[in-house]
Amino acid sequence: MPKRPYVIDQMISAKSIAARIEELSREISHEYADTDKLVVVGLLRGSFVFIADLVRELDLPVEVDFLEASSYGNAMESSREVRIFKDLRGEIEGRDVLVVEDIVDTGHTLTHVLHVLESRNPAKLKTIALLDKPSRREADITADWIGFSIPDEFVVGYGIDFAQRNRNLPYIGKVRFTE
């Protein structure tokens, strides 16, 4: 449990998230219209709500797999050391792949994951992030699709946590410490 008391101020409503996912799913469905099956790779744990809503909106045959990578642990700042805790179960060689990330902050995690996946020779490899914090970027990377660009705030909700709390919020909220 976080040691300092905090409140959460809503930044992006559940309704806005749903509308943006509909838009993004149309673009992705168009991009991958010729695929026989899109492998949608969710980066655990923060992307699980986003990936569930996204794949339900895609007008494509999809296969879902997960990879767990982190550079945060329970901290509010990236350690910049990316660790893979869970690898894919399926093969992606010669397949169309979409990597789903909850938030691109420094960019180290997504860069590391893409290097790992590119070494497995997918046919096409693209990325989508629900949230993007361009002001925090340290690695030269931008997701192919971005849900929302946000300022440098610590956020929770819609699958994103603070020390394993607040993932269940239906919106994106900013953490504000009260002392």
pLDDT digits (tens, 9 = 90+) for 65-110: 999 987 655 455 555 677 788 999 999 999 999 999 999 999 999 9
Q: Range of 10's domain? A: 6-30+37-177
Does residue 177 surpass a pLDDT of 60?
A: yes
Whether 66 maps to a domain, the answer reads: yes
The pTM assigned to this predicted structure is 0.91
Question: How far, in Å, CA of 54 to CA of 62, rounded?
Answer: 11
Q: Tens digit of pLDDT for each residue in 42-67? A: 998 999 999 999 999 999 999 999 99
Residue 17 has pLDDT above 90, yes or no: yes
Q: Is residue 46 part of a domain?
A: yes
pLDDT of 76 reads 53
Would strands 124-132 and 145-149 be described as parallel, antiparallel, or unpaired? parallel
Active site residue 105: yes
SS (H, E, C) 22-82: HHHHHHHHHHCCCCCCEEEEEEECCCHHHHHHHHHHCCCCEEEEEEEEECCCCCCCCCCCC
Q: Does residue 1 sit within a domain?
A: no
CA proximity to 109, closest of 171, 44, 21: 44
Out of 105, 132, 144, 161, which one is annotated catalytic?
105
Residue 42 is part of a domain; what is its CATH number?
A: 3.40.50.2020
Q: Mean pLDDT across the chain, nearest whole number? A: 92
Q: What is the number of structural domains in the chain?
A: 1
